[in-house]
Structure 1
Amino acid sequence: MTFALPFEQIPQVPSRRLLGHLHLIRKNPVEFLRLAQDRADLCRMRLGPTRAVVVSSPRLMHEVLVERHEDHKKSRAIAIFARGLIGQSVFSSHGTRYKKRRGFVAPAFKANVVGRYADAIVNEVDAMLLRFGSEVSIDSEMHEITLRVVAETLFHTSVASDVPAIEDALTRALQAMNGLIGQAIPLPPTYPTKHGLKLRSARRDLDRVVYRIIRERRASGRDEGDILSMLMGARDEAGEGLDDEELRDEVMALMLAGHETTASALTWAIQVIATDPVVQARLTQEVDMVLGDRTPTFADVPKLPYTLAVFKETLRMYPPVYLNGREPMVDTQLDRYAIPAGTLIFLNIYGTHRRPEVYPDPDVFRPERFLGDGEKQLPRGAYLPFGEGPRVCAGNHFALMEGQLVLARLWQRCKLIAPSGKMSDPWPSFTLRARPPVRMRVERRTQRTSQLPAKDRFALS
């Protein structure tokens, strides 16, 4: 380690409040993250007596998440609040426990496995389209469809009747977690506060469903070809598998990650397409040229690059996981500054994704950034919707495929119109949600782009 400047010399976002930046983070975390990004690659922040810094550059992101990942653990604040719902899962654990859990979960999301879930995704889109009237609340619909997809791929069809109860309990749990994180005095979920009790109640309701499904599956001995069966059959090097409590934790983490984050991203993507005529024309023409009137399958995924680029650019501008955290286990150094062990390191994903030197005109939606070799040319640590390094999201391939297929099937069958013609405001909660409700008008498509006169087609290049 080279000579390091004292922690107190790290640039700080201005604040005149007694508790430092807590008021701004609680009021508008996106505004704070933009301020931190504009201030410096590494910013100091005040959270009462707690030492904390914000990292907002690709270089330092890569250093923390990849080059020196063994020196950092999951932020204790994130781990404590997350464990109130998902226990000691792959998302919230560290060290040996994390490596074991990751070894169990990762095989279920290999690229050659996720393809089998494509038909389930498209089927759920078709079921949703049957529910559509002339106007819909897209944020609600995306939360319902992603939960149904997770239920199908996690539990097979046996849990279909439990989807409403799961959705209600997950919503209450997320509301409680948001309340816990936003407390002036951040008491953990184990304390009997209003939000702590609400989280425990929601967890009990979820546990009743999940444990029942685990018991029934163990009793049947069936392999349904779903993720639950894969997790039940997984064994470590010592031949040990997951017990019921460990299974419950992983299932809950997968439900939360696969449902909430994808729903948020899809809501933003649909708004972008509906409010940008150029993006909408190009996506619609690609879908028509590749699919025509037939139902999309997994084999069509690589044939829809622009649709995928739209989803990836959405994840850049509106990353569902807009903020993450790490904590150094030993005294260390970032950039030129000393970072004491135990310092909270906030990873500013939202701000890093809007660095103008990496993404010219960062506030402009340009899917072309992710066509051809565009993504390969990005600096390491510049694009982090799924994290980076050993803790990169195991379900990233699944999430990208789901987003791509949902958008393609929607615009193949209908056109969604934003009455206001404008994007929603960000509503930072557990994920970066669009401020609800996000209402859209629905027009059923009766004419394909290929049937239009040549002058009315959008030229693909």
Structure 2
Amino acid sequence: MAATEAARTGAETAKEIPRLAGAPLLGSLADLRADSLGTYLRAHHEHGDVVRITAGPPGLRAELTCVFSAEGVQQVLASQAANFRKDNAVYQEVRDALGNGLLTSQDEDYLRQRRLVQPLFTKRRVDGYAEAVASETASTLSSWERSTDGIVDVSDEMMVLALRAVARILFGADVEATVDVVDRCFPVITEYVLRRGYSPVNVPRTWPTPGNKRAAAALEELYGVCDKIVAERRGGPAADARATGAEGKGEAEDLLSLLAAATSTQDAEFDATELREQVLIFLLAGHETTATSLSFSLHLLARHPELQDRARAEIAEVLGDRTPGAADLDRLPYLTQVLKEAMRLYPAAPVIGRRSVAAAEVDGHTIPAGADVILAPWVTHRHPRYWPDPERFDPDRFTPEAEAERPRYAWFPFGGGPRACIGQHFSMLESVIALAMILREYEFEAVDTEIAVSAGITLNTLGPARCRIRRVGA
């Protein structure tokens, strides 16, 4: 009775959610399609921390409830996480394309997968991947020596580096067999997923339309290479990991072998289809997000040479000429601050969607049952309450003292709550090692001083991010 009375009282005192003005017939549909990130920023600027946006014609209209405050984000992702699920159209399209892996699964499926995968992402295990990251970074640096004009597109280069690093860690010696397929097929699949996820009406996937046929061919090729490697691992020596239960250092065993060997009395093991689904999600989430963080870290430093020099001085003092390892992550605090500030301004996942199960009060507003809820790190990371002069690049925002003064969810590039990204330590480790090696060898000067971006499954650059590079000391 008391709980019911409290809920009724909360509903009576909750504020009405303001609505962003839009066109009479289509609402904000054209604005969201042209510039969704700018539209969310405008909604926050004009109406505050909880805003409703409508998009589409009557009868097919989407109602989006946007939550921008750190306090509201914490309620949706953490304290009321069970009420806000991954049930929206975009997540369903990702499931249909890439399967029900750790990113998209829910309820007992998610808990089972998380229990099986968690031992593979302990700090000790992830630290063992540092050598592979360093090796791929060294290969990238060697390729730059052959650059004829001294200009590289850091967005393209970091995408290749991150893809090769995660593919090597996943597949070991089979990295070459997968990189070209992933690089060719993933853009086709992600464009298809987004187009269907944001469309009010879709034709069945089985209809022989040009878009369906292109996506089906890309998925078939991607599935084929993954299934072939999974089958080889199932018959290979990876069972030793199951027998010993040892964590090891990760150099000898690739992640797929460990996934294939993962088992428990409670959760059994992954079957071949589940293994492929986990691999595809790790490939998607593991390379595009890290590539975004690396490319914008480099580009921002290229535009701020005094901060670039400060980061390079720290690298020289800590590393000298040696190859960085996992233990250096804590020894490079300013470089880590650079990375975090780049992730604030350019979060790899700029928009996060959820759907409410029941009516809930969030940041003083009642969100109805069945509402599509939008969280936007792109906006919250620019909230002036937490970030003075929010567009300014300032790594000192992430000193330990400054971080302690802000709400936990003022910065959430890895999500949060029970669905926080399982690979966040790996992402930070990979990014710091790669940045340290790159900045030790090369100085960067921005050629393209502004980079247009858009929100896809991850943050997309809409043009080149070219930098002029020269050897340090040359």
Match of 1:263 among 265, 287, 291: 291
Match of 1:89 among 101, 111, 123: 101
Q: Residue deviations 1:348-372, cap 9 Å, x none?
A: 2111111111111111111111123
The one-letter code matched in structure 1 to 2:468 is R
Deviation for aligned residue 1:435: 2.5
1:79 paired to 2:91: yes
Which whole-Å CA distance do the structure 2 matches of 1:73 and 1:187 have between them? 25
- CA distance in structure 2 between the partners assigned to 1:396 and 1:89 by the alignment: 17
Query: Residues 66 and 373 of structure 2 are in contact (CA less than 8 Å); yes or no, is this contact kept in structure 1?
Result: yes
- 2:118–2:422 contact (8 Å) kept in structure 1: yes
CA distance in 1, matches of 2:202, 2:343: 29
Matched, 1:53 2:81: no
Deviation at 1:178, TM superposition (A): 3.4
Question: Shift of residue 268 of structure 1?
Answer: 1.1
Which runs of 5 or more structure 1 residues have no equivalent in the other structure? 448-461
Q: Normalising to structure 2: TM-score of the pair?
A: 0.89
Amino acid across the alignment from 2:467: M
Mapped pair 1:126 → 2:134: no
Q: Does 1:26 align with 2:28?
A: no
Tell me if the contact between 1:36 and 1:56 (Cα under 8 Å) persists in the aligned partners: no
Cα deviation digits, residues 227-270 of structure 1 (max 9, x gap): 21221222244351010001111100000001111111211111
Aligned residue for 1:424, secondary structure, equals coil
Deviates more, 1:383-392 or 1:330-339: 330-339
1:262 partner SS? helix
For the residue of structure 2 that corresponds to 1:106, the secondary structure is helix
1:13, distance to aligned residue in structure 2 (A) = 1.1
Q: Corresponding residue for 1:441?
A: 468
Other structure's SS at 1:4 match: helix
The offset of 1:88, in angstroms, is 0.7
The answer as to 2:53 corresponding to 1:37 is no
Equivalent position amino acid for 2:107 in 1: G
- TM-score normalised according to structure 1 size: 0.92
Give the Cα separation in 1 of the matches to 2:467 and 2:297: 13
Mapped partners of 1:341, 1:116: distance in 2: 45
Find the counterpart in structure 2 of residue 98 from structure 1: 110
Aligned-residue offset at 1:138: 1.6
Q: Which amino acid aligns with 1:74?
A: K
Moved more, 316-325 or 262-271: 262-271
Report how far residue 416 of structure 1 moved: 2.1
Question: Letter of the aligned partner of 1:83 in structure 2?
Answer: R
- Name the CA distance, whole Å, in 1 between partners of 2:10 and 2:267: 47
RMSD, matched Cα: 2.0
What does the per-residue CA deviation read over 1:59-107, in whole Å, with 9 as the maximum and x for residues that have no partner?
1100111111111211321221211332111111111111111112222
Letter in 2 for 1:45: I
CA deviation vs aligned residue, 1:106-136 (integer Å, no higher than 9, x gap): 2222212111111111111110111111222
> How far apart in 1 are the matches of 2:319 and 2:363?
50
The verdict on how the C-alpha distance between 1:205 and 1:17 changes in structure 2, with shifts beyond 3 A counting, is farther
Kept after mapping to 2: 8 A contact 1:318/1:432: yes
**What is the match of residue 429 of structure 1?**
456
The answer to which of 288-297 and 272-281 deviates more is: 288-297
2:213, 2:266 → 1: CA distance?
Answer: 39
Q: Distance in 2 between matches of 1:344 and 1:225?
A: 42
CA distance in 2, matches of 1:239, 1:396: 24
Tell me if 1:148 matches 2:164: yes
**Structure 1 pair 351–437 and aligned structure 2 pair: CA distance change class (3 A):** same
For 1:258 and 1:306, the matched residues in 2 are separated by 24
1:238-387 mapped onto 2 (5 Å cutoff): 238-387=266-415
3-state SS of the aligned residue for 1:374?
Answer: helix
* Cα distance between partner residues in 1 of 2:13 and 2:402: 39
1:135 maps onto 2:176 in alignment: no
- Shifted more, 345-354 versus 98-107: the winner is 98-107
Give the CA deviation at 1:431.
1.6
Cα separation, 1, equivalents of 2:33 and 2:89:
15
Following superposition, the deviation at residue 141 of structure 1 comes to: 1.1
Cα gap change, 1:17/1:208 in structure 2, threshold over 3 Å: closer, same or farther?
farther
Q: 2:20 — aligned with what?
A: 13
Q: CA deviation at 1:405?
A: 1.0
Structure 1 stretch 84-93 or stretch 255-264: which is displaced more? 84-93
CA distance in 2, matches of 1:205, 1:65: 35
Cα distance between partner residues in 1 of 2:15 and 2:25: 17
Deviates more, 1:114-123 or 1:231-240: 231-240
Contact (CA 8 Å) 1:268, 1:434: kept in 2 or not? no
Distance 1:8 1:85, change over 3 A: farther
Question: Could you tell me whether the CA contact under 8 Å between 2:312 and 2:439 is conserved in 1?
Answer: yes
Question: Does the Cα contact within 8 Å between 1:84 and 1:200 map onto a contact in 2?
Answer: no
Corresponding residue of 1:453: none
Assess if the C-alpha contact under 8 Å between 1:56 and 1:352 holds in 2.
yes
Letter of the 2:333 partner, please give it: P
How many Å separate the matches in 1 of 2:267 and 2:431?
36
* Distance apart, 1:192 and its partner CA: 5.1
Q: Quick one: distance in 2 between partners of 1:70 and 1:402?
A: 31
Deviation at 1:196, TM superposition (A): 3.6
Give the Cα separation in 1 of the matches to 2:166 and 2:456. 21
- Per the TM alignment, residue 181 of structure 1 is displaced from its structure 2 partner at its CA by 3.6
Structure 2: how far apart are the matches of 1:429 and 1:124?
26
The one-character-per-residue Cα deviations of 1:318-360 (angstroms, maximum 9, x if unpaired) are 1010101111112333334332221100112111111111111
Letter matched to residue 454 of structure 2 = W
1:5–1:337 contact (8 Å) kept in structure 2:
no
The residue identity in structure 1 corresponding to 2:37 is V
Change in 2 beyond 3 A, CA 1:160/1:369: same
In 1, Cα distance between the equivalents of 2:317 and 2:86? Answer: 45
Question: Match of 1:30, as an amino acid?
Answer: L
**Whole-Å separation in 2 of the counterparts to 1:439 and 1:376:** 35
CA distance in structure 2 between the partners assigned to 1:112 and 1:190 by the alignment: 45
Aligned partner of 1:396 in structure 2 is 424
Instruction: Name the stretch that deviates more: 400-409 or 1-10.
Output: 1-10
Instruction: Name the SS for the 2:52 alignment partner.
Output: strand
Output the amino acid matched with 1:90.
L
